[in-house]
Structure 1
Amino acid sequence: MNLSEGQVWLLIGALAVMAAATKAIGPALVGGRELPTWATGVIATMAPPLLAALIATAVFADERRLAVGADTAGVAVATLLLLCRVPLVVSAAAAVGVTALLRAAL
């Protein structure tokens, strides 16, 4: 699917408006009332699986299929380093380095 530059900007604008409308719906519906305890529990338990799903699709998705590549290896290196209590900056730098080296080699 090829979009013209004008269509891309129109799509970006439409997505920005939709995101703002989605954020406004919650306060408009709830107002100043407290959410029920079951709703706050559901909201609190939804964040980790959604984050895991976003990470999994970003790491393993290659257009319309699942694939393992250089970026997957970089995430694996960062994960292992973080599990070994290496500082975040060092883990991220190592992941970038491994990903770059693998992409250059392939």
Structure 2
Amino acid sequence: MSWIWIAVAAGACLVLKVTGLLVPARVLENPAVARVSQAMPIALLAALIAVQTFVSGHRVDLDARVAGLLAAGVALRLRAPFLVVVLSAASTTAALRWFDLAG
């Protein structure tokens, strides 16, 4: 039964992609469309980060992931390279979980 839903989702993605390719260039050159298309990846990434950080199952959960996100924010604020940002978030989260201090 789940294979049917996977096939439906794959077909919907294909139709959406083909529809996007058929949009006329004049529509894509519209300033409003350009602003929305530039902001969309940022909004989707922010939503993904929020869900992966604050949600466990069907409830909001504040645990070591939040501290890792805060550490990444501090590293970004200090203009650290991307690898340092990722490593600071991962090491903060791992240390808090290792010592059983958060979650």
Gap regions ≥5 residues in structure 1: 1-5
My pick for the range that moved more, 61-70 or 49-58, is 49-58
Q: Distance in 1 between matches of 2:18 and 2:57?
A: 32
Q: Name which of 64, 76, 79 aligns with 2:73.
A: 79
Mark the CA change 1:93 to 1:37 in structure 2 (over 3 Å): closer, same or farther: closer
Is 2:83 aligned against 1:89?
Answer: yes
Partner of 2:61: 67
Q: Distance in 2 between matches of 1:70 and 1:12?
A: 34
Mark the CA change 1:45 to 1:92 in structure 2 (over 3 Å): closer, same or farther: closer
Partner of 1:38: 32
Q: Distance in 2 between matches of 1:103 and 1:83?
A: 24
Q: Distance in 2 between matches of 1:63 and 1:14?
A: 25
Q: Distance in 1 between matches of 2:20 and 2:42?
A: 20
Mark the CA change 1:94 to 1:15 in structure 2 (over 3 Å): closer, same or farther: same
Partner of 2:17: 23
Please tell me the root mean square deviation across aligned C-alpha atoms, in Å.
Answer: 2.3
Q: Distance in 2 between matches of 1:62 and 1:20?
A: 31
Mark the CA change 1:41 to 1:90 in structure 2 (over 3 Å): closer, same or farther: closer
Q: TM-score, normalised by structure 1?
A: 0.70
Gap regions ≥5 residues in structure 2: none
Sequence identity of aligned pairs in percent? 30
Aligned residue pair count: 97
The alpha-carbon deviation at position 57 of structure 1 amounts to: 1.6
Q: Distance in 2 between matches of 1:85 and 1:41?
A: 26
